[in-house]
Amino acid sequence: MDYNEIKELTTAELAERLLEEKSNYMNLKLTHALSPLENPLKIREVRKTMARLSTQLSLRSTEE
């Protein structure tokens, strides 16, 4: 997910998307622990997306 796409989301959508990404991250980690993923860099991408979402949420909370 691109940073510009994240900026366009509402605060509620950001929180919902962050929860989805967290569960996706946990599933990827578990799957990778049991058998190697075809593309292990997907874990890194999801973690960075979570960080971007979290950063945008904290920026919005400080603005309000």
| pLDDT tens digits, 5-19 | 999 999 999 999 999
Does the CA dihedral 34-17-61-47 come out positive or negative? Answer: positive
Per the CB < 8 A criterion, the answer to whether 14 and 6 are in contact is yes
| pLDDT tens digits, 21-52 | 999 999 999 999 999 999 999 999 999 999 99
* Distance from the Cα of residue 50 to its chain's centroid: 3
**Entry pTM:** 0.90
Q: Which of 55, 57, 1, 58 is nearest to 24 (CA)?
A: 1
Say which CATH topology domain 3-63 has.
Helix Hairpins (1.10.287)
